[in-house]
């Protein structure tokens, strides 16, 4: 008898709790913003509107770079060099839009590091590149990541003094031109692999893996997004500005795109790409479901969106105050503007980093947390 009573009580309570839940969930008009957010659709949007277009663009622009390099190799002259330089600038600008997706097919695998380390390490090592050319032995699989990729190509085809004669003279060496072509072919094959992988199966996996645990697509995308953002502040600006402890002065040669002098254009594009990711905005400006929309749906999110957008505005103002000149020139003329830009980026960090991961409940590591 008593046993039956207890069972009855238990199920009544369960039933009541369930109905309460049902009523509450139907009755949630005032909390309309709390409509459950669909991460699957967000991932779908990121894959279709941002990530795949970024890799497609990158791939076709690296192919164009290869064509330009082949044309230059056939007839090295001022015009083909200029075309080659232009193709490099276009391709490297496109790279900034793919900068933040170093996971999945573009992530680390065995001895291979993420795509960003393999094709966009800076500053390039002049001595390693010269050694490779002199010895004629290079495999592009070793640890000399500062002797390959975009910035190694840049070193070969640009001159910081902007003297085309000097470049043309240097590139009379067949070994040098062979290295140049080999560098570009290596990038071609790496990007082709990533793109193919995304097209084949990874896209499905990316969209299906829609949790928030450490290995989930949202967590991977988020972590790389933050890492990419921080690299602008720490390495693209902080390092050449000499803002790291122990640096006695700015080091303008330790800058991204030193030889072409396109540093500012590159980090501005990079920041644009980062901002696009936060908004879920395609390159053509079409806004879709991104982190911003995700934040709208969570506790404390609307406040964070306001804070983030205010600071984004401040960052944009700081960016606008920096003209697209070579970094060493800017240090003479716009040092305060550069420092201010770094400060505004620094202020922005917490909105992308801890505030956002905390509100979205994204795990940033695999290790066990405290349990109940």
Partner 1 sequence: MATSRMRLNDIHTSLVRPVSIAPLVTFRVIFGVIMTFATIRFVALGWIEDHYTDPIFHFTYYGFSWVKPLPVFWMYVVHVIMGLAALGVMLGLYYRLSAVLLFLTFTYTELIDLTYYLNHYYFVSIACALLILLPANRWFSLDVRRKPEIAATTVPAWTVFTLKLQVAIVYTYAGLAKINHDWLFEALPLKIWMPANDKLPIIGWFLALPVMPYIFSWLGMLYDCTIVYWLSYSKTRPWAYASVVFFHSVTGLMFQIGVFPLVMMGCALIFFPAAWHKRLIDRVRIFLHRMFPALQERTQVVPQTASLSFPGPLKLLLALHFTFQILFPWRYLLYPGNLFWTEEGYRFSWRVMLMEKAGTATFYVKDSATNREGIVVNSEFLNAHQEKQMAMQPDMILQFAHFLKSWYAERGVQDPQVRAEVYVTLNARPSRLLIDPNINLASVEDGWKPKDWIIRYDE
Rg (CA), the chain: 25
Rounded Cα–Cα distance for residues 32 and 82 (Å): 56
Q: Note whether 328 binds partner 1 by CB under 8 A.
A: no
Query: Which among 90-98, 105-113, 183-191, 357-365 is the span making contact with partner 1, rule CB under 8 A?
Result: 357-365
Residue 193 contacts by C-beta under 8 Å, 6 or more apart in sequence? Answer: 105
Q: Measure Cα distances from 128 to 19, 137, 175 in Å.
A: 70, 11, 14
**Which listed range, 26-34, 56-64, 105-113, 135-143, lies at the site for partner 1 (CB under 8 A)?**
26-34
CA 251, 257, 258, 261 torsion-angle sign:
negative
Alpha-carbon gap, residue 346 to 315, rounded angstroms: 10
Among 51, 91, 304, 338, the residue binding partner 1 under the rule CB under 8 A is 304
Q: Does 211 bind partner 1 (CB under 8 A)?
A: yes
Closest CA relative to residue 315, chosen from 333, 342, 351, 278: 342
CA distance 289 to 294: 7
DSSP state of 47: I
Rule CB under 8 A: say whether 213 interacts with partner 1: yes
Q: Does 336 bind partner 1 (CB under 8 A)?
A: no
**Residue number with CB closer to partner 1 (148 or 348):** 348
Least Å distance, CB 14 to partner 1, is: 11
Q: Which of 307, 319, 325, 337 binds partner 1 (CB under 8 A)?
A: 307
Closest CB to partner 1 among residues 61, 218: 218
Q: How far is the CB of 212 from partner 1 (least distance, A)?
A: 4
Binding region for partner 1 (CB under 8 A) out of 63-71, 160-168, 302-310, 322-330: 302-310
The H or E element that residue 56 is part of is helix 52-74
Q: Compute how many other C-beta atoms are within 10 angstroms of the C-beta atom of residue 272.
A: 16
Least Å from the CB of residue 229 to partner 1 = 12
Quick one: which of 52, 243, 305, 314 contacts partner 1 (CB under 8 A)?
Answer: 243
CA–CA gap between residue 327 and residue 241 (Å, rounded) = 9
User: Is 109 an interacting residue with respect to partner 1 (CB under 8 A)?
Assistant: no
Alpha-carbon torsion (245, 246, 251, 256), positive or negative: negative
Q: Euclidean distance between the first and final Cα of the chain, in Å? A: 35
Comparison of 237 and 330: residue with beta carbon closer to partner 1: 237
Choose the stretch contacting partner 1; rule: CB under 8 A; options: 74-82, 136-144, 331-339, 342-350.
Answer: 342-350
Contact status: 221 vs partner 1 (CB under 8 A):
no
Binding site for partner 1 (CB under 8 A): 2, 6, 10, 17, 20-22, 24-25, 28, 31, 34, 36-37, 39-40, 210-214, 223, 230, 234, 238, 243-248, 297-300, 303-304, 307, 346, 349-350, 353-355, 357-372
């Amino acid at each position: 008898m008593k046993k039956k009573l207890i069972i009855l009580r238990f199920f009544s309570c369960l039933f009541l709790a369930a109905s309460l839940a049902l009523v509450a969930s139907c009755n949630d008009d005032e909390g309309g913003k709390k409509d459950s957010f669909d991460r699957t659709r967000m991932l779908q949007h990121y894959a279709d509107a941002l990530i795949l277009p970024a890799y497609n663009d990158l791939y076709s622009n690296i192919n164009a770079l290869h064509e330009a390099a082949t044309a230059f190799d056939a007839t090295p002259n001022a015009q083909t060099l200029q075309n080659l330089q232009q193709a490099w600038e276009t391709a490297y600008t496109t790279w900034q839009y793919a900068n933040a997706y170093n996971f999945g097919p573009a992530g680390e695998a065995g001895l291979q590091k993420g795509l960003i380390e393999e094709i966009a390490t800076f500053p390039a090592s002049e001595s390693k590149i010269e050694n490779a050319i002199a010895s004629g032995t290079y495999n592009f699989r070793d640890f000399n990541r500062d002797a390959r990729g975009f910035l190694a190509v840049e070193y070969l085809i640009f001159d910081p003094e902007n003297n085309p004669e000097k470049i043309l003279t240097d590139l009379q060496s067949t070994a040098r031109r062979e290295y140049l072509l080999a560098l570009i072919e290596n990038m071609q094959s790496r990007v082709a692999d990533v793109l193919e992988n995304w097209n084949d199966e990874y896209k499905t996996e990316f969209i299906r893996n829609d949790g928030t645990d450490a290995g989930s697509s949202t967590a991977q995308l988020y972590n790389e997004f933050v890492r990419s953002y921080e690299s602008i502040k720490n390495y693209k600006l902080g390092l050449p500005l000499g803002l790291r402890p122990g640096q006695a002065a700015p080091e303008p040669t330790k800058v991204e795109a030193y030889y072409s002098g396109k540093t500012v254009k590159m980090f501005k594009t990079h920041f644009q790409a980062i901002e696009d990711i936060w908004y879920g905005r395609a390159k053509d400006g079409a806004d879709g479901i991104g982190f911003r929309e995700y934040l709208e749906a969570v506790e404390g999110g609307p406040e964070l969106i306001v804070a983030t957008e205010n600071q984004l505005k401040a960052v944009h103002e700081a960016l606008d105050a920096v003209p697209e000149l070579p970094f060493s020139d800017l240090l003479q003329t716009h040092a305060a503007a550069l420092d201010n830009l770094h400060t505004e980026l620094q202020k922005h960090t917490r909105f992308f980093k801890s505030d956002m991961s905390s509100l979205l409940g994204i795990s940033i590591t695999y290790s066990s947390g405290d349990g109940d």
